Structure 1
Amino acid sequence: MNNKNCPICSNKSQSEYAPFCSDKCANKDLGNWLSGRYYIPGEKINDETIYDSVDLSDILKKDH
């Protein structure tokens, strides 16, 4: 039995959308992550830093 509440609206969580109660709340949570409202604290890095640390030519050469 699921006794947990939705972290967005506090309604009863539904197993299909766990831990949320609905698709609407699940999408609101996703939007919060994508907009930067939610984030994991740590040192900010920019795209250039990521690309400098990865040799893209090696990645492109790999067989998939």
Structure 2
Amino acid sequence: MSCPLCGEDTLRAFRPFCSKRCADIDLAKWLNGSYAVPLQREEDAETTSEPTDGYQPRPH
């Protein structure tokens, strides 16, 4: 298995990374927002999620 950041062989202690350095770099990317889960677009959300209890949100 190779490290997803640098491509070196992984070490058991840091798997899936090759070192603490690569593991820390990956963690920093998560913490500063470089990695993000994409959200559903507003146009799609309006068509797929209809309120079922009659609730109508008011504009801000």
The TM tier, using the shorter chain, reads 0.5 to 0.7
- Please, what is the CA RMSD of the aligned residues? 0.9
Structure of larger gyration radius: 2
Q: Which runs of 5+ in 2 are unaligned?
A: 41-60
* Divergent runs of 4+, >6 A: none
Superposition pairs of residues 39-50 of structure 1, within 5 angstroms: 39-42=36-39
CA distance in 1, matches of 2:12, 2:2: 11
2:15 pairs with 1:31 = no
Q: Which runs of 5+ in 1 are unaligned?
A: 44-64
Higher helix share: 1
Deviation of residue 36 (structure 1)?
0.7
> Which residue, out of 1, 18, 26, partners 1:21?
18
User: Between Structure 1 and Structure 2, how many residues are aligned?
Assistant: 40
Q: Deviations over 1:12-54 (max 9, x none)?
A: 01110000000000000000001111111115xxxxxxxxxxx
Q: If the length of structure 1 is used for normalisation, what is the TM-score?
A: 0.59
| Sequence identity (%) | 40
Paired AA for residue 39 in structure 2 = G
Q: If the length of structure 2 is used for normalisation, what is the TM-score?
A: 0.62
